[in-house]
Amino acid sequence: MDDIAIIGVGLHPFGRFEGKSALEMGVDAVNDALKDAGVTWNDLQVAYGGSGHGGYADSLNSKFGFTGLPFYNVFNGCATAASALIGAATALKSGAADLALAVGFDKHPLGSFEMDPEEWGLKKWYAENGFMITTQYFAMKIQRYMYDYGITRDSLVRVAMKNYHNASLNPKAYRSKALDYETIANSIMLSDPLTQYMFCSPDEGAAAAILCRASDAKKYTTKPIYIKAYGLKSRTYESFEVVSPYKAIQNVPTVVEVAAEAAYKMAGIGPEEIQVAQVQDTEAGHEIMHIAELGLCKHGEQEQLIKDGETQIAGRIPVNTDGGLIGNGEPVGASALRQIYEVCIQMRGEAGAHQIPKPPKTAITQVYGMPGVAAVTILQM
Amino acid sequence: MAEKKQVPIDPELFVWPADNPELLGSKCGECKNVAFPVVKRCPKCSNENLTTVGLKTKGTLWTWTSQMFRPKNLVDNLDPKQFKPFYLGYVELPGEVRVQTRLFVEDSSQLKIGMSMELEIRKLRDESDGTEVMTYGFKPAVA
């Protein structure tokens, strides 16, 4: 069966840009992707895009020209950009279109996300009681994981340190300053065991990708990158997810484990072939959990792996080479496409100061979105 | 002087006033799953054959954390500048379900995964008409 190929990518820097709308950032990212692919807006036959706070993605039609382009708006929390990518890939695979755009952009207010429980199938009491805040969940999940698998706070600090360091080497990242161990460990406690600098911060940015079927790729580029697997899963009843007043007593594979297994099956490869991973480090604890959920190591092995530097850019299994969410911040509409962008520039050898010494050939990307959605892609050059 | 009126933060969570308060859940007639809070369809098997049940009032601490800054949509009717951190977690009610809950402790040194906890109903806030809105939580079990 014909794979999907990425023939162009674009990224607007992540950070805070006063006076610039998320839509304008989206325009920049799309322009860069179109240029990278050597195509124009008029060549596109379908588009999928999304944003949390930046408005409707199909407003891009008004910026680029009303060509009658079928433009689907999507939203899946932090998995929004992955949903856009999957929508575009599915349209291509079905033959409904030959050239597709996937785009995401966002601009979040300062501070933690404020959410209305009634928009998420919950009742008012949940917010009134002080439970409608995502930072608590991440803390409770890693708290239990540390208990189950012997992970210590040292690992949390090291992961955050790595991602600030990687971001300091990435001119498009939000955080330009590497933070040292003490600064991260001693920053204010937000939700035990997670301190302020262990968390990512919602911010602003945009990313885009131009896709076609693999059989058409050579028309556009000599260096296509193939999406060997893509998929999105939502939670099962028993899995432990954000904003849930209960957790079933049965323990089951997480939604990320389920999505990853399906992706490896679709790609026909195993985790041992993965040479770089871009994962959802909403906070340091989740990077730790996700790398095991993606099969890159066993549960509990992370402590030693991280201490040995194996997840650094020059390590055996580099993770979040551009700084991840901790280093780039989290504009939910864009993040999954930032991960795709980063994999592409790494594979092409264009990552500059944060380049993996031997450009990787096989990569995995993963995002986790509210209220329990996992999206995984496997890319290969 | 009349006693203050006390109401549960949501009447579907627990009945109050009550001498022996319990959290309410839904037992599925088909798959026997116990859900919290009360639901109209079983979240596990989607069946509508449900019975409201009182959940166990004692359990073990499955995980916990602290909330060190004031959630924007907390409703406690107190001066935000006077916010006191609170604790929360999931308590496993044996054979039933793990419930997300406030934990009534003064600081984190009192919390250990696996410890025994028991249900208590406490005031969350005062309304302007004097009504006390009550919430549920778990405290370290008295031996």
To the nearest whole Å, the CA of A205 is away from the closest chain B CA by 24
Residues B78 and B27 in one domain: no
Does A130 sit within 8 Å of B67, measured CB to CB? yes
Residue pair A284/A135 in contact (Cβ under 8 Å)? The answer is no
Residues B64 and B129 in one domain: yes
Judging contacts by C-beta atoms under 8 Å, the chain B residues touching residue A196 are: none
Q: What is the pLDDT of residue B1?
A: 53
Q: How many domains does chain B have?
A: 2
Considering the domain boundaries, does residue B68 fall inside one?
A: yes
Does B64 sit within 8 Å of A140, measured CB to CB? yes
Interface test with B, best of A115, A124, A128, A146 (most B CBs within 10 A): A128
Considering the domain boundaries, does residue B3 fall inside one?
A: no
Q: Is the pLDDT of residue B142 over 90?
A: no
Does B100 sit within 8 Å of A131, measured CB to CB? yes
3-state DSSP call for residue B123?
A: strand
User: Searching chain A, which residue's CA lies closest to the CA of residue B44?
Assistant: A237
Residues B135 and B93 in one domain: yes
Evaluate whether the domain defined by A4-110+200-380 bears CATH number 3.40.50.1110. Answer: no
As a dihedral over the C-alpha atoms of residue A342, residue A334, residue B71, residue A285, rounded to 10 degrees, the angle is -20
Q: What is the pLDDT of residue B4?
A: 86
Judging contacts by C-beta atoms under 8 Å, the chain B residues touching residue A248 are: 33, 44, 97-98
Cβ neighbors of A275 (< 8 A, separation 6 or more) are: A317, A318, A356, A360, A361, A362, A363
Q: Is the pLDDT of residue B5 over 90?
A: yes
Cβ neighbors of B69 (< 8 A, separation 6 or more) are: A190, B83, B85
User: Is the CB of A66 inside 8 Å of chain B's CB atoms?
Assistant: no
CATH, residue B91: 2.40.50
Considering the domain boundaries, does residue B61 fall inside one?
A: yes
User: Is the CB of A148 inside 8 Å of chain B's CB atoms?
Assistant: no
Residues B48 and B66 in one domain: no
- Reported as a single tens digit per residue, the pLDDT across B108-140 is 999 999 999 999 999 999 999 999 999 999 999
Summary count for chain B: helices (H), strands (E): 0, 9
Cβ neighbors of A140 (< 8 A, separation 6 or more) are: A191, B63, B64, B65, B88, B89, B90
Residues B94 and B49 in one domain: no
Considering the domain boundaries, does residue B12 fall inside one?
A: no
Residues B140 and B91 in one domain: yes
For B4, other C-beta atoms within 10 Å of its C-beta total: 11
Does A123 sit within 8 Å of B10, measured CB to CB? yes
Considering the domain boundaries, does residue B4 fall inside one?
A: no
Q: What is the pLDDT of residue B2?
A: 62
Q: What is the domain extent for residue B26?
A: 21-55
Preceding amide of A193 cis, omega within 30: yes
Judging contacts by C-beta atoms under 8 Å, the chain A residues touching residue B72 are: 111-112, 114, 133
Q: What is the pLDDT of residue B3?
A: 78
Judging contacts by C-beta atoms under 8 Å, the chain A residues touching residue B97 are: 246-249
Percentage of chain A beyond pLDDT 90 is 97
- Summary mean pLDDT of chain A: 97
Residues B35 and B99 in one domain: no
Residues B79 and B45 in one domain: no
Does A127 sit within 8 Å of B64, measured CB to CB? no
Rounded to whole angstroms, the Cα distance separating B119 from B141 reads: 9
Residues B69 and B136 in one domain: yes
Cα A221 from chain centroid? Answer: 25
Residues B38 and B97 in one domain: no
